[in-house]
Structure 1
């Protein structure tokens, strides 16, 4: 029965004080949530990162040489005690027709492999995989085109500049999507990256080496153990490569000299070829002119020969014609004569017999007549007649004979003439035939010669025309190519001259051996670790203070709970319950409240806060979703702290009370004896106070413990609120302060050390364009410090202005406190405040800064200037020459724009980067993006902590107000039955709460400022300083929030007191 009654009493204690039980649960939940949440978020982030980096075997060290890594470099690096060594290529280019810089990497299969988010990896030199965040612009199957600036020799590193998109990737080396580092292309800021197969690169040397170590892979990449492990390997690698810069420099100079000699020979050969070609064309032109003249001469000779030949032929033709006509006439005459002869001959032949017959007849007559004459017998008459007749006959015979002979003679003469004529005609015919043959032959020869001459002339003309066309083609080709050839020759001479000048300016190569935090594009890796480190730092400060406040209030609540149950203690003890059984009532009450609250806090701390932090940084990073892990250690600590806060006070107070006898416990505690307070001794002041004011004053000093708890509770809540809002102010204002009031330049344009005069002229012209408001030459160096044991380097910007008097136009060097301007002086430097803190240095100290070859330079601090992001060192020219032992020359420019928008800054930066002779452009947006990422994450964390602090303030004030009412309910009942109004009764007790709250707020401001400064000391990343000023929100919001809570609780108290049965309260002791 006894045990059953005890159980009922224990159960009744829960039902009678639900608000107290719930408030303890809330206090424990809030405390454990902040403690566990902040303690596990950092490890969750680091574990997630560790698994991600190990999955893709992210390189522990990388080596990037300014001249690339040749076989000798590889032979040395291969001696390193690394698990895996991979060599690769990279090149910064821009997307075609854009200023967007993208870094193209060669794909790697062993070290720093890429996370494939979609598609596949490239397999041919026509394919590419792009950064995952480019999926909004490009899709698989699309073609992307790049623009690459040619080097001094006119070559490009990429063999081709258009690729087919086959996949999308994330890199474990560049995990930030808002700050991927600087670039030598585009606007000077890297926006994206991509990967292709190695054969796409046209390079004789590798551009980087990645090294992975087996002993480092098992370590948390953000731990000190990992940093020390990597530092050991880094030192080993530095020792291996320490003599390589000079050896490689000698080799490079020899190769460059060889290239120069070959370039000179090639240029001289090209020049000679050009001159020879030009001379050949001139000679050919002269030959063509001579050929044309010769052809014209030959044409004239030919024409004259043809003319002469034709004339001769015409004359011969005319002779032939005349001869033929003469012959024809002769032949006609001959024919006529022949016909006449034939006619005569025919007539003769016809008449001849007749004539001969006549002659014969006459001869017969002659004979007869002779006979008559000789005939003696004939008479003389007969003889005379015969003689006369004989004479006539003889005359007739003679006449006939003469006629016949004459006719025959004529015929013979005619025949002879005819024969002669025939002979002449035959001769003429033969001669004519011969003349015709000769003419024909001559004509044939003439025609053949004419045709041959014409053919030869045509061939000569065609050949000349062909040669002319060939010459004109070559001349046109030469004329068209001549400007290009002359330009190429001029460019070649210029490039050769530049190479010769560059040869004289050649610097010893640098070998950058970089850890994950130092490799190009590692800003995301550092920021990710910084966020985890910030959470760790807050976990060491914020939850401890919050838990302490919650625990103290819980301690007070449980103590008051035991005091309220004093009479019940006596009753139970009088009934015979053992002390241990009675203590169970209180310890079980505290245990359940502590376990329930702590369990809720542990669960929410393990899940909610890590997810809130993940939501804060996930947009800017490519790491996978945060892995949630259970951490028993911090959970056990939270449980132990809750037990100490809720169970231990119950046990201790109950044990103390149970030492008394039941009879004493059954009586209420006697009130403390009253005494005068200090105000009562100041008569004029005391007399001027009203009754309620005097009561309030007495009660404030009378209930010191209660007053202290109220002040402490409000102070704790205000401290957390004030610190939270002040941290928000500190982180939110640094960007505006840094880039609005301190840094007034928009970019630093850095020249190449080998820039030529013409390139300088183009740069000077660009600096004078209308978008540029002003510019100033400076000497700009990027060096580093290694302030911690990890050996990780932090970048330091060294700036030496050409005119120290104009420096304030571009960057103000003021002290943070007092805003006093600091001037550059001989013999010392001005450093940024964060740099001084990192090196634990002050004015008068000497600091050491390293260059890329790990050479140390010592500088004395003359002043420390206000600066919130990045490490800076400023010095004048005299100090520069003293520190660096070299003559001052400007190698960069401060550039300030009329339009300072990010869009215009990127546009102008792209114009500078595109100029030859420009090493790079450093924009302020790099720092702005870096700090924005940290600020966004920290701001969200602070919002959560501010919310927790606000809830804590509500619970604390509610709890303390309840305790105050419950402790003084009989006193309040007495006041009420004496006739005081409800509001007067409420103010009777609440006036004290208001005064104590005001005191708590003011005290909270003081402690909050201390906590704020402490957070600013431990939370900021290594190269960032938060603004230590507080701002109005920390004061106003804290006051307003606490005032609202106090007012709402006042309304609640007023309603509770109105409902309270005062008579029953007065009889409660009985």
Structure 2
């Protein structure tokens, strides 16, 4: 049996003598696996961490609010739903604090197990005059422990002033940037507060929180959980529906008894003539008005909320989905570049060892024994790179991403290993290393020892295209001509270098493109499409004059447009889009000053069609319809009509159907109800914005005010959550590009060491020898950068299509700093690599290199 020790020693000697190449292979594999496994793990880690955080805090699956409160009979009815754990909560919105903030106030009840608070500092209320505030009140509004907190008189609490004894986080409010909306104050909830239950001043609970034990093993953001909650929600609604009528009847019974008694007295007075007829008539009219008011007050309306309806939770889920969408594209492309370069490196390494393979074959070693040497080398590099990439990627990258989500409350970190992804990464890594080695060794071993021990015949040079352009070719120096001939002489080397540089450029450019495209959504929506700054919802059509009068009292007010707005469901081709705004302007002529109706399929830009409806672009795409098709619109009241699509308008956020008043009347056989004002405002401060909304609510004719600035902030927050992730992509892409460029240049120099030694012996200076290589690299770098621009754009386009949500379009946008950064980094890497190469070429052993294969 042939002794294997020389082969093994040779392998370790090979690693020792070419440490740079071995380390480069390990690093490329490590980076590829790191980004592939790490980014793939980031989305699940975000979801799992948030899901565990809210599950550990016993966040309710469903909560329902009632305008008339809940009785024990209501609680008992809800408990009939299998598995339902029901708790009654005292809750209301109030105005309080130093700047009349809108606050969500909860009654503290130690017997409740759901929606547990996490005390950040201080303690829960122990006495009647103590209050715990949202931690946001401390960080954003600068409240401190021991301060006194005062509510407005209208809050209806048993006392107005409380001592702040603690700050807390709640699983109801995952996102620190939003706390929902309310029908008091300025309409925007700033933070929550918790006071002793007895201080709430409520006769009955106003909220029921419902939790199902069977759902807690499902991930909050999964389809399985959402489907299960939808089924439970339907059952809860069926169970609670009859209770609304019973509650109304119970509330009206004593009032009706009192009113009936008064009615009977009036009738008796009318019979005896004890009261003048005119007075009796006035009293009867007054009783009828009281009856109408009582019925209105006793009307029971339920507001249902699942976890997705809580402030920020759905946005968090969509954010993690965007990272998951990016992870389906970016890391794969990244890994393919890494695998391709590794494959090339291993191939060249084995080809360089032709003479060694021939020697071992001549000494009698079997094919397997010789192949084992190189397969083990490749396996060692592949396994080492894979293990390092998995450990660093799976453990650090999800945690880094989680730490970048600073707009959310602290989450319990869950970073489980994604074994399917890890196995896939390991498979590709071994294919790129062991697979390459096996392929080349098999080809080399098919040749005889004598052939292998002789140097491979150099490639013959052919005339290149530039030579045929005589005026240009004649102007080139000898060195330039040699460089350009060498470029096309070794086409595979040129191709791999261009691919490597193009891949690195594309990856860096894509990182900037993701950020720019998300930022472009709000910029384009609120500068190109929507030209109003506030949306004022009216209680009734008659309230527009009073609301306009209130607006006119503020210096920031410019003008307004009265529109009818209704929510609807739109369907076509077995697809359906919900939460669609049906918008009908009262004045069609001036509407274009508020909403720019543009797009390829809009017949007359800036005007509404006189026949049919305009759909916004995202909805048209989801429904797979275009101009001339028909869609079915179902209004909130249930009226359903089939209408023709007259055009598709440019839009980036939300879904809207635009109609003229005449089209609305002819389609739905009813007049539009003008219940909304689109308001144009001059620049406002936050205080002015808050004051305007507050004054509008106080007018009694306005249900609520929303500002486009707040919607912009939401999109910007979404962008900010990805900025850190994009920075990681750019950083790792830069490192990969540098290692790839260094590795390919190293291979190039190693392959041509005899050629470079020859020209050095012929009297070329060190700088001229380096330029011999640099000139080729510069050309390939520039070509790679240009190709990378196109690849980066296409990659960004694909990723943004995958990352788009049901409500948002991300237009592909890459600003010049992205191109400048990608170009600058690639040129910098080229310069650094050339500097290292220059130092190496200065120390070439010319005699050793020229005699190495004699």
The corresponding residue for 2:277 is none
CA displacement 1:481-526 (0-9 Å, x = unmatched): xxxxxxxxx9x999999878878999986544332112xxx23211
Distance, in Å, in 2 between the alignment partners of 1:744 and 1:263 is 58
Which residue, out of 561, 568, 575, partners 2:356? 568
Alpha-carbon spacing, 1:700–1:259, altered in 2? closer, same or farther (3 Å) = farther
CA displacement 1:779-835 (0-9 Å, x = unmatched): 2345578999999x9644443322222223333333389998442224533343334
Alpha-carbon spacing, 1:1030–1:531, altered in 2? closer, same or farther (3 Å) = same
CA contact (8 A) 1:843 1:864 kept: yes
The corresponding residue for 1:311 is none
Distance, in Å, in 2 between the alignment partners of 1:788 and 1:629 is 41
Superposed counterparts of 1:130-145, under 5 Å: 130-136=133-139, 137-145=142-150
Distance, in Å, in 2 between the alignment partners of 1:607 and 1:263 is 75
Report the Cα offset of residue 610 of structure 1: 1.6
CA contact (8 A) 1:82 1:211 kept: no
The corresponding residue for 1:752 is 539
Please say which of residues 175-184 and 62-71 is displaced more in the overlay. Answer: 62-71
The corresponding residue for 2:45 is 44
CA contact (8 A) 1:60 1:211 kept: yes
The corresponding residue for 2:334 is 546
Report the Cα offset of residue 767 of structure 1: 3.3
Alpha-carbon spacing, 1:785–1:175, altered in 2? closer, same or farther (3 Å) = farther
Please say which of residues 910-919 and 708-717 is displaced more in the overlay. Answer: 910-919
Alpha-carbon spacing, 1:96–1:948, altered in 2? closer, same or farther (3 Å) = closer
CA displacement 1:644-670 (0-9 Å, x = unmatched): 222221232123212322222111111
Distance, in Å, in 1 between the alignment partners of 2:828 and 2:372 is 38
CA displacement 1:100-156 (0-9 Å, x = unmatched): 21111234613333333344444665443221232354445543222264xxxxxx6
The corresponding residue for 2:119 is 116
The corresponding residue for 2:278 is none
CA displacement 1:177-199 (0-9 Å, x = unmatched): 11222222332221101233444
Which residue, out of 561, 568, 592, partners 1:776? 561
The corresponding residue for 2:276 is none
Distance, in Å, in 2 between the alignment partners of 1:264 and 1:796 is 48
Alpha-carbon spacing, 1:493–1:724, altered in 2? closer, same or farther (3 Å) = farther
Alpha-carbon spacing, 1:708–1:509, altered in 2? closer, same or farther (3 Å) = farther
Which residue, out of 583, 593, 596, partners 2:381? 593
SS of the residue aligned with 1:620?
coil
Unpaired runs of 5+ residues, structure 2, are: 267-281
Which residue, out of 835, 839, 853, partners 1:1055? 839
Unpaired runs of 5+ residues, structure 1, are: 150-155, 269-489
Alpha-carbon spacing, 1:898–1:678, altered in 2? closer, same or farther (3 Å) = closer
Alpha-carbon spacing, 1:1006–1:657, altered in 2? closer, same or farther (3 Å) = same
1:663 and 2:450 are equivalent in the alignment = yes
The structure number with the bigger radius of gyration is: 1
Distance, in Å, in 2 between the alignment partners of 1:267 and 1:887 is 44
Superposed counterparts of 1:1026-1037, under 5 Å: 1026-1037=810-821
CA contact (8 A) 1:121 1:128 kept: yes
The corresponding residue for 1:514 is 305
CA contact (8 A) 1:91 1:157 kept: no
SS of the residue aligned with 2:312?
helix
Report the Cα offset of residue 680 of structure 1: 5.0
Superposed counterparts of 1:442-481, under 5 Å: none
Structure ranking higher in strand proportion: 2
Q: How many residues align?
A: 835
Report the Cα offset of residue 558 of structure 1: 0.7
CA contact (8 A) 1:231 1:790 kept: no
Please say which of residues 126-135 and 657-666 is displaced more in the overlay. Answer: 126-135
Report the Cα offset of residue 749 of structure 1: 1.7
Distance, in Å, in 1 between the alignment partners of 2:75 and 2:635 is 23
Report the aligned-residue RMSD. 3.8
CA displacement 1:586-633 (0-9 Å, x = unmatched): 22322232233223222221232222212221x311142423333444
Alpha-carbon spacing, 1:762–1:951, altered in 2? closer, same or farther (3 Å) = closer
Superposed counterparts of 1:918-937, under 5 Å: 918-937=702-721
The corresponding residue for 1:194 is 193
The corresponding residue for 1:449 is none
1:147 and 2:146 are equivalent in the alignment = no
Distance, in Å, in 1 between the alignment partners of 2:107 and 2:570 is 31
Superposed counterparts of 1:353-364, under 5 Å: none
SS of the residue aligned with 1:98?
coil
Superposed counterparts of 1:275-674, under 5 Å: 511-518=302-309, 522-617=310-405, 619-674=406-461
Alpha-carbon spacing, 1:550–1:11, altered in 2? closer, same or farther (3 Å) = same
CA contact (8 A) 2:83 2:214 kept: no
The corresponding residue for 2:230 is 231
CA displacement 1:322-364 (0-9 Å, x = unmatched): xxxxxxxxxxxxxxxxxxxxxxxxxxxxxxxxxxxxxxxxxxx
Distance, in Å, in 2 between the alignment partners of 1:988 and 1:944 is 35
1:129 and 2:132 are equivalent in the alignment = yes
CA displacement 1:70-117 (0-9 Å, x = unmatched): 677656534323431223342221214523211112346133333333
The corresponding residue for 1:1015 is 799
Report the Cα offset of residue 687 of structure 1: 5.7
Alpha-carbon spacing, 1:257–1:190, altered in 2? closer, same or farther (3 Å) = same
CA contact (8 A) 1:848 1:857 kept: yes
SS of the residue aligned with 2:308?
coil
The corresponding residue for 1:15 is 16
Structure ranking higher in helix proportion: 1
Distance, in Å, in 1 between the alignment partners of 2:669 and 2:498 is 63
1:184 and 2:183 are equivalent in the alignment = yes
Distance, in Å, in 2 between the alignment partners of 1:922 and 1:99 is 18
Distance, in Å, in 2 between the alignment partners of 1:832 and 1:726 is 24
Distance, in Å, in 2 between the alignment partners of 1:819 and 1:697 is 54
The corresponding residue for 1:894 is 678
The corresponding residue for 1:718 is 505
TM-score (ref. length: structure 1) = 0.71
Report the Cα offset of residue 1049 of structure 1: 2.1
The corresponding residue for 1:909 is 693
Report the Cα offset of residue 958 of structure 1: 1.0
CA contact (8 A) 2:90 2:197 kept: yes
Report the Cα offset of residue 1016 of structure 1: 0.5
Which residue, out of 957, 966, 982, partners 2:741? 957
CA contact (8 A) 1:187 1:909 kept: yes
SS of the residue aligned with 1:630?
coil
Alpha-carbon spacing, 1:498–1:615, altered in 2? closer, same or farther (3 Å) = farther
Alpha-carbon spacing, 1:253–1:116, altered in 2? closer, same or farther (3 Å) = closer
Distance, in Å, in 2 between the alignment partners of 1:634 and 1:971 is 44
Distance, in Å, in 1 between the alignment partners of 2:627 and 2:206 is 42
SS of the residue aligned with 2:99?
coil
Alpha-carbon spacing, 1:158–1:494, altered in 2? closer, same or farther (3 Å) = farther
Alpha-carbon spacing, 1:739–1:252, altered in 2? closer, same or farther (3 Å) = farther
SS of the residue aligned with 1:165?
strand
Report the Cα offset of residue 854 of structure 1: 7.5
CA contact (8 A) 1:182 1:922 kept: no
Alpha-carbon spacing, 1:167–1:733, altered in 2? closer, same or farther (3 Å) = same
CA displacement 1:852-889 (0-9 Å, x = unmatched): 67776766543333333333333332333355543223
Please say which of residues 36-45 and 770-779 is displaced more in the overlay. Answer: 770-779
Please say which of residues 13-22 and 500-509 is displaced more in the overlay. Answer: 500-509
Please say which of residues 40-49 and 764-773 is displaced more in the overlay. Answer: 764-773
Report the Cα offset of residue 570 of structure 1: 1.7
Report the Cα offset of residue 1010 of structure 1: 1.3
Distance, in Å, in 1 between the alignment partners of 2:262 and 2:598 is 55
Alpha-carbon spacing, 1:819–1:1002, altered in 2? closer, same or farther (3 Å) = farther
Please say which of residues 915-924 and 980-989 is displaced more in the overlay. Answer: 980-989
